[in-house]
Structure 1
């Protein structure tokens, strides 16, 4: 077997180099990688380097964490997988010892080893990767490998909607209709939201939001936006506002659209300082950050398998592994023509 890995040589430049095939530890499986989704954090990493730069300037930086493939080899203590199984993975490896892990909130483990970020910056853009069996999941026969790769962003949307609490009959606004915003659209619809308003500046993404369940869509550049949104959700604003764009302007906009005693769910990764006008929210508004997911993969896989959750139609551009550089350049320069890019390391189904 030959193995290679795509690494970030410098911001804006990916290279593919030869590396050894990893040997799975006793509790790990070796996975032949099929499809890898391109996340917004990957695009940011390609342009600027990781959100959290490594302490060692010589650290090798990999990208990609939305991944599925086929089991190639198993460690001696692994009993629930066999060679040839189709699988996807949770890309974070928690410590299993801290108070957060022990409480079941392993997503906020301070020592989690998450792919393409600290501490090891190991990316999924490789032919073979080793991963703990307890963070690996079987794919049902009716799910494709690419659907398996997109379980990861779907789980983010599901976790965000669940953290918002009871949404039955509630009116929600989703700021941003990139991949995570679209996953949140579907999650809030499944949880019974009565109105789902989506705001973005890209027509292709707004159109997809409408297809997936948004009841109203608006261009974020509209000067009368707040009034138009409140005409849909009510004069006091929305029960819940999800910020999924990861931008300071949308974070500020959320405060204009949430009602008294409502909730703002910050799902996007917002860089820098975000000023908060507390006069706008000092009517018992709750601001809740959302970080990845925890214990959400089984239900996410089940919903995709049953057809309740559509991830496949979002994957609208595929790239060969050898064209990884082109894939990231396209993702940066063609956002109006792209919803979700996927890098096909190997065609496995």
Structure 2
């Protein structure tokens, strides 16, 4: 078996290099990668370098963490899988020993080894990779490999909706209709919510939000977001407001949209400081941040498999592995046109 890996040589330049085929440890599987999704964090890494730069300037930087593939090798103690199984992976491997792991909140483990970042900066853009059996999941027969790769961002939406305790009857506003906003929309739908308003500034995204089940969509440039949301949902506002755009502008709108006793869920990564007028939310409003996911893969896989969670419609661009440089360049330069890009690893 021949292997290669795509490496970020310098910001703005990816290069495919030869690599050895890794040997699985006794509790790991060897996976032949088939699809890799391009995440916003990958695009940031391509443009500017990793969020957390490595301490060693000679450290190779791999990108990609949303992936699926086929099991082609087994460690000596692997029991759940066999050669030929179609799988995807949960890309963060926690320590399993700290307080947070033992409480089941392994997504906030301070020593997590998350792909394409510290400590190993190991990316999924490679022909073969190894991964622990315990963080590898078998795909249902009716789920495509591309859908399998998109379980990772879908799980972010499922985790956010679960943390917000979405139930039927809840009134919801989602600020941002990028990939994570649309995943959050669909997660809320799977949990029974129907009164969902989605806000964005790009019509292409709003059209897809409507197709995926939003009750109403609002263009934040053309309309007064707060006034329009309250016109649709009622003067009290929303039970739950999800900020998924990662923008200070939308973050500042959240206190104006949430009702008394409601919840503000910060899903996006918001840079800098965002002033909050606490007088506007001092009626038992909860503000909560959300980080990745924990114990959400099985539920997410099931939701996609049953057809209630449409990740395929979100894929606007598919690239071949050999065109990885083009894939990232267009992810930077064509952000208005791209909702979700994936890279097909197999010829």
Task: Give the TM-score normalised by structure 2.
Answer: 0.97
8 Å contact from structure 2 (residues 70, 84) kept in 1: yes
Q: Give the secondary-structure state (helix, strand or coil) at the position aligned to 1:335.
A: coil
Residues 265-274 or 179-188, more deviating: 265-274
Give the ranges of 4+ consecutive aligned residues of structure 1 lying more than 3 Å apart after TM superposition.
none
Pair 1:10-2:18 in alignment = no
Pair 1:111-2:111 in alignment = yes
Alignment partner, residue 82 of structure 1: 82
8 Å contact from structure 2 (residues 199, 225) kept in 1: no
Distance in 1 (alpha carbons) for counterparts of 2:225 and 2:146 = 36
RMSD, matched Cα: 1.1
Distance in 1 (alpha carbons) for counterparts of 2:217 and 2:73 = 47
Alignment partner, residue 102 of structure 2: 102
Distance 1:273 1:54, change over 3 A: farther
Count the aligned residue pairs. Answer: 347
Alignment partner, residue 148 of structure 1: 148
Task: Give the TM-score normalised by structure 1.
Answer: 0.97
Structure 1: gaps of 5 or more residues:
none
C-alpha offsets along residues 38-58 of structure 1, whole Å, 9 cap, x if unaligned? 111111111111122222222
8 Å contact from structure 2 (residues 4, 126) kept in 1: yes
Write the mapping of 1:31-50 to structure 2, written as runs, cut at 5 A. 31-50=31-50
Alignment partner, residue 298 of structure 1: 298
8 Å contact from structure 1 (residues 203, 336) kept in 2: no
C-alpha offsets along residues 127-177 of structure 1, whole Å, 9 cap, x if unaligned? 100000110000111111101000111111011000001432011000111
8 Å contact from structure 2 (residues 62, 124) kept in 1: yes
Alignment partner, residue 196 of structure 1: 196
Alignment partner, residue 160 of structure 1: 160
Pair 1:30-2:30 in alignment = yes
Alignment partner, residue 230 of structure 1: 230
Write the mapping of 1:309-320 to structure 2, written as runs, cut at 5 A. 309-320=309-320
Alignment partner, residue 276 of structure 1: 276
8 Å contact from structure 1 (residues 45, 51) kept in 2: yes
Q: Give the secondary-structure state (helix, strand or coil) at the position aligned to 2:119.
A: coil
Distance in 1 (alpha carbons) for counterparts of 2:250 and 2:47 = 21
Deviation for aligned residue 1:223 = 5.0
C-alpha offsets along residues 164-197 of structure 1, whole Å, 9 cap, x if unaligned? 0143201100011111111111111121223110
Alignment partner, residue 258 of structure 1: 258
Deviation for aligned residue 1:222 = 3.0
Alignment partner, residue 19 of structure 1: 19
8 Å contact from structure 2 (residues 194, 214) kept in 1: no
Deviation for aligned residue 1:247 = 1.5
Alignment partner, residue 58 of structure 1: 58
Alignment partner, residue 242 of structure 1: 242
Write the mapping of 1:170-185 to structure 2, written as runs, cut at 5 A. 170-185=170-185
C-alpha offsets along residues 273-309 of structure 1, whole Å, 9 cap, x if unaligned? 2222222222221110011111111111111111111
Alignment partner, residue 220 of structure 2: 220
Distance in 2 (alpha carbons) for counterparts of 1:220 and 1:61 = 37
Distance 1:156 1:60, change over 3 A: same
Structure 2: gaps of 5 or more residues:
none
Residues 183-192 or 125-134, more deviating: 183-192
Distance in 1 (alpha carbons) for counterparts of 2:63 and 2:283 = 42
C-alpha offsets along residues 233-269 of structure 1, whole Å, 9 cap, x if unaligned? 1112111000111121111111221112211101111
Distance in 1 (alpha carbons) for counterparts of 2:203 and 2:334 = 13
